[in-house]
Amino acid sequence: MGWGDFTSQGISSIYFCLNAEGIQTEISILNGSVAQFRDSSDLFWCAPAQTPLLNRNQKHTMRHLLLLSVFHFAAALAAQTVISGVVTDRSGEPLVGASIFIGGTYDGDFSKEDGSFEFSTSAGSEVEVQVSYLGYNTHSIRAEVSELKNLEIVLRETITEMNAVTVSASTFKAGDNSKVAVLKPLDIVTTAGSVGDVFAALQTLPGTQANPEDGRLFVRGGEARETNIYVDGLRVFTPYVRTIGGSPTRGRFSPMLFKGVSFATGGYSAAFGQALSGVLDLNTTDVADQTESNLNFMSLGAQVGHTQVWKDQSLSVNASYINLAPYTELVPTTRLQWLKPYSGFSGEAVYRRPTQNGLLKVYVAADDNDFRLAQENLDSEALDTIGIRNRNLYANASYRGFISEQTSLFAGASVGFNRDDLAIESAPDLQQNLNGLHARLSLKTIWSDRFTADYGLDYLREYDNQTSRHGEFVSSRDLGRSQVAAFGEFNYFFSKDLALRAGLRAEHIGLLDQLSLSPRLTLAQKVSKNGQVSAAFGSFTQSVGADLLFAEPSLAQERAEHYLLNYNLKAGKHILRLEGYYKKYRQLASFDGSTPDQSETIGSTGDGYAYGFDFFWRANQMIKNVDFWVSYSWLEHERQYRDFPTSATPSFATRHNLSLVSKIWMPGLKSQLGVTFNLTSGRPYENPNTVGFMNERSPAFKGLNLSWAYLLDPQKILFFSVSNVTGFRNEFGREYGNELNANGLFPSRAIRPNDDQFFFAGFFITLSPDKAKNQLNNL
Amino acid sequence: MKTLLSSIIIFSFGFAALSAQNNYETAMQQSFEALEQGQVKPAQQMFERIAIMETDKWVPLYHSVNLLIGESFETEDKEKRELLLGKAKELIAEAHDRSPNNAELLTLEGLLYTSYVTSDPQTYGMIYSSKIAALHQRAMQADSENPRAMLNALEWNMGSARFFGNDIKPICEKVEAVIPMFDSYESDVAFAPTHGLEKAERILADCNND
């Protein structure tokens, strides 16, 4: 039987091998698997049958054999060289089961209990020995075969996001599984009181001040405009829906289009600029998995969505119509006197297309809505009517991909067009336009698992126009501004327990023709298996708002410095975060008089500070089927805010903020109950009838929200929610008229939520043409 | 003379190819034996090693990934689990490159993401559920006769039916119908996966226990 016959037997019938003389023998099988034999000048080996074909006896015999070194079949017996050594980690502990191989050959071994290995090879001269072990960096040695004896190989643990210290520990993440992720993707939808709004869900995290009558994000004493919102790293210029004072706004985005959220309440990366307090980056989903449609019927309107998946591209579209009229008819609890209840259309689309080494994404959102209502005028006691129509278009396109083994490129641009038409009875009609453009080009180079660098360019252009019409009289003003920024930042891991991130951002502000430099620094140290401490410093700048620039275009950039100390623990069912911070404000715009336009002294002389402490604890399944989190923020804040005559705490900054959020899964009822409780200390407000400034405090705000989601089946969900179930009478301070009344006092009224309670009901249906099921139906 | 030379050349090349083929088969068989003896880790690494050597074969990658996923299901340590699944993802991407639209690989990838979902349903449930369903669907479209593709899709549907308290009887009947397919299914690829029958029987046993 020659070798030809032998191979022609195929894998299923090789029960024997040939010995050197070409005589068949069964030794090889009993030997574990491999025999080597010589046929004239050539060497062959053969193997036993596939395991299923082994009989019991053979299996039994084989159990006694050590198979760790089964790969000892070399190409030629003639020049066998033995390679040996031991594999350990950095602390000298042996690594068991590491694989040691000669590149390009089958010659190798796996390390034993004591980390040792030994095998022979016929490879001559210089070879490359590769040593690999899951979770460790592959080590290779290039040397003469004869020198590869008693090797002492030390493998270094690979630094991964899972095992290493996290440099962005002061950022809240949702949706991914990193150690700093505190929210799950579903939390945005299922947190009672959020009703599917990203911003409302984020307000249950520490570092934010609950402003339930406003709805925007207020971070650590910063006003809402100090927190910038991004979609896929590109700026959104008008992220919030237009509402009337007293009714909370919502985000313009539907949360289901996003796979993750990254929310930094301070000390963020040099990649972000023009934000004094916070950065929120929303990431759209990378790939859609299957074609499906969504139909949502809500007490406020209806929504349809469809995702179409082609071979690898996909498109998701979403359209919704909201009309508050039926709700206001059914639940006439509102204090607002609607003349035309809020109604509007909105639509979104996401297109994704993978390329060979990257991904192209396009996101477009448009909406158009309006409302009209009557509001009491404190001075005249008459009713003023206010009508607002808002139209908004936002689009962004980005590409992310590898341009070389080590370097990935991000290129993207966003544009936003926003138009508000305001018709207020006793005032001229006003049209406000804001157009914006943001372009970004950045590179990330991964030098090794310990050293990465990000660097790039940012271009931002904003254009504001305000036109007022009063009969024949039309006045218009506009303002364009642009800035160019360059940033560079590196992450360096001294070990998996200690890491440094250092960055610098340089911005050139067109209006001022001025260059500003903002350094950022974070140092993170792992203090236990699951716990870490990080300290951060950062300098941040932001241009003042358009209303101030219209009055004085040369106003300097406002500045803030952040100092943070953070402790982060993620262990088992628990996530714990503690963070102390100090924020110093400088060069704040301030003016006297009631508006910047009428001010005689307008300048950048204001300063301020904020310091405080954040606490966050989340425990999932500590109590069976219960997931809850507690967040508490303590804030001390004073600043020279706009027309403040002195430094004081603005009305949006509250000292104590507490949120308790819990979600209880009731398997028997196929339901999830959500309970959220908020407690916020009183708001500062100014009472012109007393001496002093901003000395009054409103009563504490309390709210208990409930939601109930009932899963009819995997694709149908019934959802109800009620805010402020117990009907607390909340107040956000008082507002005062401009003219003294008969008692010589300024008239006042309490600022109350427009709706003490809010009810919501929805029925969400997913329709997927599940071809899998059809296929299974053929059975 | 010319003919002789070309025969020698053909012979030599053929020999080299056969020799390489032998190495492959031998190595694969050794890996299976290691597995048979409970040497899961070495077996997994051997398959991986073979995949490095045999750059056109998807089968060793399949087995390597299958073992990684199997281990991940049994690993409580979340960090370790992420490592195993991360490695599995890397290898399966390579396998898809070698053999696109392969029902076995698509089914296996469905199992990979199922491991993610079972490790942390709240994080991964929403992200991966539809992906898993889509992978099963693609697998069955790629090969409508493949019993593993069918079984994994059924197993997934059963999990969801149990969760929502729906009747699992129709699914059980289908699992029963899949069982003979394990016998009749034949692959022309050496060392292609053959497992799944025991799992089908186990699922069926669970059906009867309910």
* Measured CA angle at B135 (ends A296, A356), to 5 deg: 100
Residue A191 · residue A674 · CB < 8 Å: yes
Residue A165 · residue A526 · CB < 8 Å: yes
Residue type, B3: T
Overall average pLDDT of the A690-711 stretch = 92
pLDDT at A612 over 90: yes
Minimum mean pLDDT range among A186-190, A342-346, B42-46, B53-57: A186-190
Contacting A residues, span 619-658, partner chain B, CB-CB under 8 Å: 620, 627
**Residue B112 pLDDT class (50, 70, 90 cuts):** very high
Write the residue in A47, A259, A309 that is nearest to B127 by C-beta.
A259
What digits encode the pLDDT tens for the residues A309-368? 887 899 999 999 999 899 888 887 777 888 999 999 999 999 999 988 899 999 999 999
Q: CA-to-CA distance for A281 and B121, rounded, in angstroms? A: 24
Q: Does B142 touch chain A (CB under 8 A)?
A: no
How far does the CA of residue A312 sit from the closest CA of chain B (Å)?
12
Overall average pLDDT of the A598-626 stretch = 90
Give DSSP secondary structure letters for A151-192.
EEEEE-B---TTTS--TTTTEEEESS-STTEEE-TTHHHHST
- At residue A193, the pLDDT reads 80
CB neighbours (10 Å) of residue A656?
15
- At residue B117, the pLDDT reads 87
If you ran DSSP here, which 8-state letter would residue A497 be given? Answer: T
Write the residue in B18, B26, B45 that is nearest to A99 by C-beta.
B45
**Residue A107 pLDDT class (50, 70, 90 cuts):** confident
**Residue A661 pLDDT class (50, 70, 90 cuts):** very high
Look at A429 and A779; give whichever has higher pLDDT: A429
Q: Is B37 left (phi over 0), alpha (psi -120 to 50) or beta?
A: alpha
- At residue A145, the pLDDT reads 86
Nearest to B55 by CA among B11, B14, B33, B24: B24
- At residue A777, the pLDDT reads 63
Residue type, A39: D
CA A502 to chain centroid, in Å, comes to 21
Length of chain B: 210
Query: For A696-726, b where at least 16 C-beta lie within 10 A, e where not — what string?
Result: bebebbebbbbbbbbbeebeebebebbbbee
- At residue A53, the pLDDT reads 27
Judging contacts by C-beta atoms under 8 Å, the chain A residues touching residue B169 are none
ipTM tops 0.90 = no
pLDDT at A28 over 80: no
For A113, phi and psi rounded to 5 degrees?
-50, -40
Angle between helices B147-163 and B197-209 (to 10 degrees): 30
Overall average pLDDT of the A178-206 stretch = 79
- At residue A251, the pLDDT reads 86
Residue A541 · residue A562 · CB < 8 Å: no
**Residue A31 pLDDT class (50, 70, 90 cuts):** very low
* Measured CA angle at A574 (ends A573, A576), to 5 deg: 170
Write the residue in A67, A185, A778 that is nearest to B33 by C-beta.
A67
Residue A343 · residue A323 · CB < 8 Å: yes
Residue A15 · residue A26 · CB < 8 Å: yes
Length of chain A: 779
Provide the token pair at A467: 């036109």
Minimum mean pLDDT range among A171-180, A737-746, B39-48, B192-201: A171-180
Contacting B residues, span 67-86, partner chain A, CB-CB under 8 Å: 78-80, 82-84, 86
CA A184 to chain centroid, in Å, comes to 10
Provide the token pair at A689: 């009838």
Give DSSP secondary structure letters for A689-703.
TSSSSS-EEPPPEEE
How far does the CA of residue B210 sit from the closest CA of chain A (Å)?
17
Residue A639 · residue A607 · CB < 8 Å: yes
What digits encode the pLDDT tens for the residues A117-147? 998 888 778 889 999 998 899 999 998 888 8
pLDDT at A650 over 70: yes
Look at B52 and A67; give whichever has higher pLDDT: B52
Provide the token pair at A338: 């609607």
Minimum mean pLDDT range among A183-192, A652-661, B14-23, B111-120: B14-23
Overall average pLDDT of the A77-81 stretch = 62
Note whether A33 contacts B153, CB cutoff 8 Å. no
Minimum mean pLDDT range among A116-125, A414-423, A558-567: A116-125
Helices (H), B37-146: 40-53, 59-74, 78-98, 103-119, 121-142
Question: 3-state class of B43 per DSSP?
Answer: helix
Note whether B33 contacts A775, CB cutoff 8 Å. no
How far does the CA of residue A369 sit from the closest CA of chain B (Å)?
31
Residue type, A498: L
Please provide the average confidence, as pLDDT, over all residues in chain B.
Answer: 85
Those residues whose C-beta lies under 8 Å from the C-beta of residue A610, and which sit 6 or more positions away, are A220, A221, A222, A581, A582, A583, A585, A635, A636, A637, A639, A653
Query: For A52-89, b where at least 16 C-beta lie within 10 A, e where not — what string?
Result: eebeeebeeebeebebbbbbbbbbeeeebbebebbbbb
pLDDT at A35 over 60: no
Give DSSP secondary structure letters for A605-635.
EEEEEEEEEEEEEEEEEEETTEEEEEEEEEE
**Residue B20 pLDDT class (50, 70, 90 cuts):** low
What digits encode the pLDDT tens for the residues B62-109? 999 999 999 999 998 888 898 999 999 999 999 999 999 999 999 999
Task: Provide the terminal-to-terminal Cα distance of chain B, rounded to the nearest Å.
Answer: 76
Contacting A residues, span 169-208, partner chain B, CB-CB under 8 Å: 175, 177, 181, 184-186
User: What percent of chain A has a predicted confidence (pLDDT) above 70?
Assistant: 87
Note whether A775 contacts B134, CB cutoff 8 Å. no
Overall average pLDDT of the A235-257 stretch = 85
Q: CA-to-CA distance for A679 and B164, rounded, in angstroms? A: 36
pLDDT at A449 over 80: yes
Question: 3-state class of A193 per DSSP?
Answer: coil
Judging contacts by C-beta atoms under 8 Å, the chain B residues touching residue A54 are 36
Judging contacts by C-beta atoms under 8 Å, the chain A residues touching residue B164 are 670, 711, 713-714
Q: Does B14 touch chain A (CB under 8 A)?
A: no
Helix, strand, coil percentages (3-state) for chain B, rounded to 5, are 80, 0, 20
Please provide the average confidence, as pLDDT, over all residues in chain A.
Answer: 83
* Measured CA angle at A208 (ends A592, A758), to 5 deg: 100
Provide the token pair at B6: 């070309």
For A703, phi and psi rounded to 5 degrees?
-150, 135
Q: Could you tell me the CA-to-CA distances from A132 to A25, B30, B66 in Å, in that order?
A: 36, 20, 19
Note whether A776 contacts B174, CB cutoff 8 Å. yes
- At residue A176, the pLDDT reads 60
